[in-house]
């Protein structure tokens, strides 16, 4: 959906390359993402998955004061992404979604005009609720795939219309394109099958 609305999709995850690549390739989604930021990993000659930290915390700890795991500060990753976006002529808007403790730090890096989508009743949601005054981005909670899809489509449409009004263009066709590309059925139905991982 977001891809068809010309969004640049990036993954910032404390999982690992093997896990994410396997899932994305299985569902034919690998090419949808321009960037995957996660812990490096590989399967060794004995079939064991080896995972390494995104940040080498033994020699160069990230030193973040927020509840980030030692192997990855997603806030640092978001700052790098923001720096690359600031070099562009047109201002870019970030829509960030997450559910873990490590997603709180990047939510603090978002600015006015950005959007934070915390998953309700998950660790990041609790932190966002307790520290709402620290977050500049607009916050919209979600509980399931359907709510997430609705919120994401709403914000993409809003951003598109706002930019269209600023530039004097017509956003109706883009909105129509986005609406047509939403996934049928629930997210649970679409991804309910167990994924076999060869080793």
State how far the Cα of 52 lies from the Cα of 36, in Å rounded to an integer.
15
C-alpha angle 82-156-91 in degrees, rounded to nearest 5 = 35
Residue ranges per structural domain of the chain: 10-161
**Which DSSP string corresponds to 66-97?**
SS--TT--HHHHHHHHHHHHHTSSS----EEE
DSSP E strands, 68-169: 95-98, 115-118, 138-139
Q: Residues 124, 106: contact at Cβ < 8 Å?
A: no
**Residue 58, pLDDT score:** 84
**Residue 44, pLDDT score:** 95
- Provide the residue count of the chain: 199
State how far the Cα of 107 lies from the Cα of 117, in Å rounded to an integer.
9
Each residue's pLDDT expressed in tens, for the chain with a length of 199 residues? 555 567 899 999 999 999 999 999 999 999 999 999 999 999 999 999 999 999 988 888 898 999 999 999 999 999 999 999 988 878 899 999 999 999 999 999 999 999 999 999 999 999 999 999 999 999 999 999 999 999 999 999 999 888 878 776 554 444 434 443 444 444 444 445 555 655 5
**Residue 87, pLDDT score:** 86
**Minimal CA–CA distance to 118: which of 144, 98, 94?**
98
DSSP 3-state of 179: helix
**Residue 192, pLDDT score:** 52
Residue 60: burial class (beta carbons within 10 Å; 0-12, 13-18, 19+)? exposed
């Amino acid at each position: 959906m977001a891809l068809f609305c010309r969004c640049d999709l990036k993954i910032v995850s404390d999982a690992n390359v093997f896990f994410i690549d396997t899932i994305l390739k299985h569902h034919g989604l690998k090419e949808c993402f321009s960037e995957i930021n996660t812990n490096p990993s590989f399967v060794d000659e004995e079939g064991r998955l080896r995972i390494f930290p995104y940040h080498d915390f033994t020699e160069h700890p990230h030193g973040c004061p927020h509840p980030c795991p030692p192997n990855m500060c997603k806030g640092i990753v978001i700052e790098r992404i923001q720096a690359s976006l600031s070099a562009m002529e047109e201002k870019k808007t970030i829509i960030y979604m997450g559910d873990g403790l490590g997603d709180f730090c990047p939510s603090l890096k978002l600015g006015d005009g950005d959007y934070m989508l915390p998953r309700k009743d998950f660790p990041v949601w609790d932190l966002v609720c307790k520290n709402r005054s620290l977050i500049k981005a607009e916050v919209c909670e979600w509980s399931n795939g359907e709510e997430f899809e609705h919120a994401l489509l709403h914000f993409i449409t809003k951003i598109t219309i706002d930019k269209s009004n600023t530039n004097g263009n017509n956003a109706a066709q883009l909105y129509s394109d986005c609406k047509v590309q939403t996934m049928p059925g629930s997210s649970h139905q679409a991804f309910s099958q167990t994924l076999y991982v060869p080793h």
